[in-house]
Structure 1
């Protein structure tokens, strides 16, 4: 595991975008698992800027969204695919034929999960995935449990997760969904280049726990990344405050 400590969120976003661009330059048809939420917005802003400056071509990449709220149509402003269009896809030269995402309003969600998992396999697996860490230690929507599922599946979100994300649904009459579709742990663990982005002091305790946890704990899903062969943490100084200095030195 490698750790890159940046000054602040802005630098985290820039460094992460530069790493994405470098990988696309090495492999123009990169398979990219796209994250949603507040953490990657700055990265997307830099990716759009770098595209406008002619530094990157997105026309050959293939994308899969990391997760989606159950019941939301693609044109729902609260959906993650809507988020992707707003912050990224509508501003660069992505070929929409290469864009896939969980159809969370499907009548048969189990069949949709199987379709999505197979599509990832057919694409040769994920080349890059980027995630943050949920307040309960989840990655994507793989919530703490007695066991973690390997491939794309429907999950009931923990109350901690719903509380963390509730602000985004403040204007939604129906409130926040109770379930989500998420990529599974096997899909994450087989990703060739895996990144965790965190910023702010509220993430320090989670990162401290990550490096204190010696076992792979399904009740702390991010701990499984300790077994990943190529994972890199891009974090700011506040988030890194809980990591022992000897760990930072070892992982630089």
Structure 2
């Protein structure tokens, strides 16, 4: 299967297109279960969603938000944590109630039990309606690092050194990053829709590889070729490595 590929002129257009997919889903199914990423790439999408929410063009009041991942040892209130970024960039601007949000606690005394908790919640909702993903320079999706088995649900991830290095950009001081807690590849494959968003020339070859063969656990993003309803939403620079 070849994921749908949608390429837009620039970052803002790409971001608006991704936001439009979320809006369309919530219009069709207001109580959707959505899983959106933290980080820099989705910021434009979040701004577009907040603007649409303020205008009354989308209603988030009935949906459930599932957090994509978190650094082990960090949680809500820790500057630079995934929850901290999501609160600042999306959840608070939209006005999510706490009972709409399911997020990994990276400070949990028993991380495996935390995985089980989130797995059971996602299962109770019948899985994810939409998952939006970025892509790491090593091809990771969420914190599913190279070598992660396809049949994995939420799990503890040993971070690739590249991921730990790149992750420093979210912190104001050097922060040891050794592990993550993340939704699994199987969650991604079982989601009704999976969208990968990509921006900038630095991601061009990574995205090209994600759409090339073979499909392999050594480059997790290739698994989206096995998804029944996947879409890559890219700006021109991120899509520049693709043959068109």
Q: TM-score range by the shorter chain?
A: over 0.9
Q: Which residue of 2 aligns with 1:249?
A: none
The separation in 2 between residues aligned to 1:99 and 1:211, in whole angstroms, is 32
1:8 has 2:10 as partner: yes
User: Which sections of structure 1, spanning at least 5 residues, go unmatched?
Assistant: 246-252
Task: Give 1:120's match in structure 2, choosing from 115, 119, 122.
Answer: 122
TM-score normalized with structure 2 length: 0.96
CA offset digits 1:181-206 (Å, max 9, x no partner): 01001101000011000011111111
Q: Which residue of 1 aligns with 2:138?
A: 136
Q: Which residue of 1 aligns with 2:198?
A: 198
Contact 1:139–1:221 at 8 Å: present in 2 too? yes
Contact 1:69–1:79 at 8 Å: present in 2 too? yes
Contact 1:169–1:176 at 8 Å: present in 2 too? no
Q: Which residue of 2 aligns with 1:250?
A: none
The separation in 1 between residues aligned to 2:91 and 2:207, in whole angstroms, is 31
Contact 2:104–2:114 at 8 Å: present in 1 too? yes
The correspondence of residues 86-235 of structure 1 with structure 2, limited to 5 A, is 86-145=88-147, 147-148=149-150, 150-172=152-174, 175-213=175-213, 215-235=214-234
Contact 1:136–1:144 at 8 Å: present in 2 too? yes
Q: Which residue of 2 aligns with 1:41?
A: 43
Superposition deviation, residue 2 in structure 1? 0.6
The separation in 1 between residues aligned to 2:15 and 2:135, in whole angstroms, is 16
CA offset digits 1:37-80 (Å, max 9, x no partner): 11101100110000111101110000100000111131112111
The separation in 2 between residues aligned to 1:118 and 1:231, in whole angstroms, is 24
The separation in 1 between residues aligned to 2:158 and 2:94, in whole angstroms, is 34
TM-score normalized with structure 1 length: 0.93
The separation in 2 between residues aligned to 1:146 and 1:12, in whole angstroms, is 29
Q: Which residue of 2 aligns with 1:239?
A: 238
Superposition deviation, residue 84 in structure 1? 1.3
Task: Give 2:67's match in structure 1, choosing from 56, 65, 68.
Answer: 65
Secondary structure of 1:151 counterpart: coil
